């Protein structure tokens, strides 16, 4: 997939089908939009392209927004879905002040050569968020493209949205978040040297230098550690280790069952499958070890019961 960040240097004669959006998380709603994009592109002989923004417009305007996935993972998700081009436009005050029709005329039509423009059910764009699907329909007749709106996707009567997924993760409900994402939510990062506390307790852990902005609720999780494309059963602690006197810093530590390889410096993905319990401050190390014993027994039973 081709990544275009500087559209001033971009030129094409090929007609495109273009999707507009922010696409944080690449959830089931985004997949429905991308599937529609690729199907239309194949049918009409168009280049399937995505137009998104950096930073996220809500973050630009000061919202305390933690993104669900890293940009690298978002790019990979679109590439795996069959998108051929991804325009990542710098979102600035100048860009935010562009009139919706000017954006469509100068970018969507002239730059992206859009023959079809696809948006989600509630997408807005341009100055004052005045641009929407209805405006695209009108402008499509004027500038010669077809506007397509993809209806909302729901799970259990709840709209699949990045906002709802963020809320699930903040509550520790990784099962519901995974259902809406269409895959387990995962923390990505590299394994770095830690304080060796887990090893002293008899439960060595991989200390993850995570890249995610959004880290779920502190606590113990049943997890899968993906290392060199191999999946390993594990339990993960997210928190500040209150039983010990360490700096008040969020940590992600994973104990991998029956694993003894040296993985310092390796990139890993930690899929969070189920929330077990909140992080606790134990009165002594012996009580902590007993709790970890119980966590591991519970996790292994869960893996067995769920066919892992």
Structural domains counted in the chain:
2
User: Is 176 contained in some domain?
Assistant: no
Last residue of a domain, one of 155, 177, 210: 155
Confidence (pLDDT) at 171: 97
Residue 76 confidence (pLDDT) = 95
**Predicted TM-score (pTM) of this structure:** 0.92
- The reply to whether 149 and 193 lie within a common domain is no
- The CATH number for 226's domain is 2.40.30.30
- Cβ contacts of 6 within 8 Å, gap of 6 or more: none
Q: Which of 105, 140, 155 is the last residue of a domain?
A: 155
Give per-residue pLDDT as tens, 254-291: 999 999 888 999 999 999 999 999 988 877 778 888 88
- Those residues with Cβ within 8 angstroms of residue 101's Cβ, 6 or more apart along the chain or in another chain: 126, 131, 135, 139
Helices (H) and strands (E) in the chain, counts: 10, 14
Higher pLDDT, 132 or 195: 132
Domain of residue 127, CATH code: 3.40.50.620
Q: What number is the average pLDDT over the span 159-179?
A: 97
DSSP string covering 77-123, please?
HHHHHT--EEEEEEP-HHHHTS-HHHHIIIIIITTT-EEEEEEETT-
Q: Give the up-direction half-sphere exposure of residue 200: CA atoms within 13 A in the CB hemisphere.
A: 8
**17 and 136 housed in the same domain:** yes
pLDDT at 294: 94
Indicate if 195 and 278 belong to the same structural domain: yes
Residue 253 lies in a domain: yes
Which position has the token pair 């360490």?
246
What is the β-pairing status of strands 219-227 and 267-277? antiparallel
Does residue 57 share a domain with residue 116? yes
What domain range includes position 96?
A: 2-155
pLDDT in tens, 106-158: 999 999 999 999 999 999 998 989 999 999 999 999 999 999 999 999 999 99
**Would 51 be classed as within a structural domain?**
yes
Stretch 199-228: mean pLDDT, rounded?
89
């Amino acid at each position: 997939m081709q990544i275009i960040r500087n559209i001033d240097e971009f030129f094409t004669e090929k007609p495109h089908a273009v999707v507009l959006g922010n696409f944080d998380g690449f959830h089931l709603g985004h997949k429905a939009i991308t599937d529609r994009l690729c199907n239309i592109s194949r049918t009409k002989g168009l280049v399937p392209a995505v137009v998104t923004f950096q930073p996220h417009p809500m973050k630009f305007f000061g919202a305390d927004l933690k993104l669900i996935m890293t940009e690298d993972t978002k790019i990979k998700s679109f590439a795996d879905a069959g998108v051929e081009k991804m325009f990542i436009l710098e979102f600035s005050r100048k860009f935010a002040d562009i009139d919706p029709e000017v954006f469509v005329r100068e970018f969507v039509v002239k730059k992206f050569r859009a023959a079809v423009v696809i948006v989600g059910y509630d997408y807005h764009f341009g100055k004052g968020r005045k641009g929407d699907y209805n405006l695209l329909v009108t402008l499509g007749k004027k500038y010669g493209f077809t506007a397509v709106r993809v209806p909302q996707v729901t799970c259990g009567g709840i709209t699949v949205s990045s906002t709802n997924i963020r809320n699930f993760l903040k509550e520790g409900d990784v099962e519901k978040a995974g259902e809406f994402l269409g895959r387990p939510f995962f923390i990505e990062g590299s394994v770095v040297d830690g304080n060796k506390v887990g090893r002293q307790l008899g439960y060595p852990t991989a200390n993850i230098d995570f890249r995610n902005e959004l880290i779920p609720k502190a606590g113990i999780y049943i997890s899968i550690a993906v290392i060199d494309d191999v999946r390993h059963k594990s339990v993960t602690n997210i928190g500040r280790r209150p039983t010990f006197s360490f700096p008040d810093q969020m940590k992600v530590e994973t104990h991998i069952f029956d694993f003894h390889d040296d993985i310092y410096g390796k990139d890993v993905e930690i899929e969070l499958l189920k929330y077990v319990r909140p992080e606790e401050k134990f009165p002594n190390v012996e009580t902590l070890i007993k709790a970890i014993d119980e966590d591991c027994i519970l996790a292994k039973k869960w893996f067995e019961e769920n066919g892992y």
